Amino acid sequence: MHVHVNAATSADGKLSSRRREQVKISGSDDFARVDEVRAASDAVLVGVGTVLADDPHLTLDDSSLIDARESRGESPHPARVVADSRARTPTDARILDDEATTYVLVSEDAPETRCESLEAAGAAVVVAGEERVSFPAAFDALESHGVERLMVEGGGEVIFSLFAAELVDELTLYVGSMIIGGRDAPTLADGEGFVEEFPRLSLQSVERVDDGVLLTYTC
């Protein structure tokens, strides 16, 4: 599986403010690029922290991208995936509407009643990991459902875990020309952080987009 992480940070590396509400960092050209990356993916993954904070939809905005997918015999939108060890995704979350398939990755510890509620709300529940979602096992399961190109849109906890598990192939990072600040504001890679064997990236391109910079790395 090819795993492409895409995110937008402020110039000081924050994904959002300490309030953890969605902050518009990308401009219109960058959001159009994000739509194209989504359209080229089989599925788009976020963590439950992002679902609870942003209530994202994770579908395509541009109808020509939807048409192009359909002409290739693909579903109109990529599938949506939430990493949610304890099945905390609200049943009225926007990602559970019927516009696209939604996989909720849970651990063996997830309460069965919550998993049943999510299934009743339309989700396909995938169990991978004992106490927390195990991404290697979860990605094997997603591959068995035909997911070969996975886009990851955050947040910082999930992105850290994917780097720690050496599962990231590509990173595109939009750095907006703003400062958010705050020691408790989420950053691109949170989790425990690395103290040695820091993942090294290979810079492929630097491009001015809107009033910020798009950095493309292979990992």
Ligand X SMILES: NC(=O)C1=CN([C@@H]2O[C@H](COP(=O)(O)OP(=O)(O)OC[C@H]3O[C@@H](n4cnc5c(N)ncnc54)[C@H](OP(=O)(O)O)[C@@H]3O)[C@@H](O)[C@H]2O)C=CC1
3-state secondary structure of 127: strand
We find the least distance from the C-beta atom of residue 15 to ligand LIKH6CAM, in angstroms, to be: 8
Number of residues that bind ligand X (CB under 6 A): 31
Among 95, 155, 175, 189, binds ligand X (CB under 6 A): 155
Among 4, 42, 47, 54, binds ligand LIKH6CAM (CB under 6 A): 54
Instruction: Give the residue from 94, 8, 84 showing the smallest Cα distance to 46.
Output: 84
Number of residues that bind ligand LIKH6CAM (CB under 6 A): 16
Tell me which DSSP letter residue 36 carries.
Answer: H
Q: Which residue stretches of 55-197 are H helix?
A: 63-71, 112-120, 135-144, 156-164
Question: Taking a C-beta distance cutoff of 8 angstroms, is the pair 102, 73 a contact?
Answer: no
Q: How many CB atoms lie within 10 A of CB 204?
A: 12
Residues that bind ligand X (CB under 6 A): 7-8, 15-16, 20, 22, 25, 46-50, 53-54, 83-86, 88, 132-133, 135, 153-158, 161, 186, 190
Residues that bind ligand LIKH6CAM (CB under 6 A): 8, 22-26, 34, 46, 50, 54, 56-58, 153-154, 174
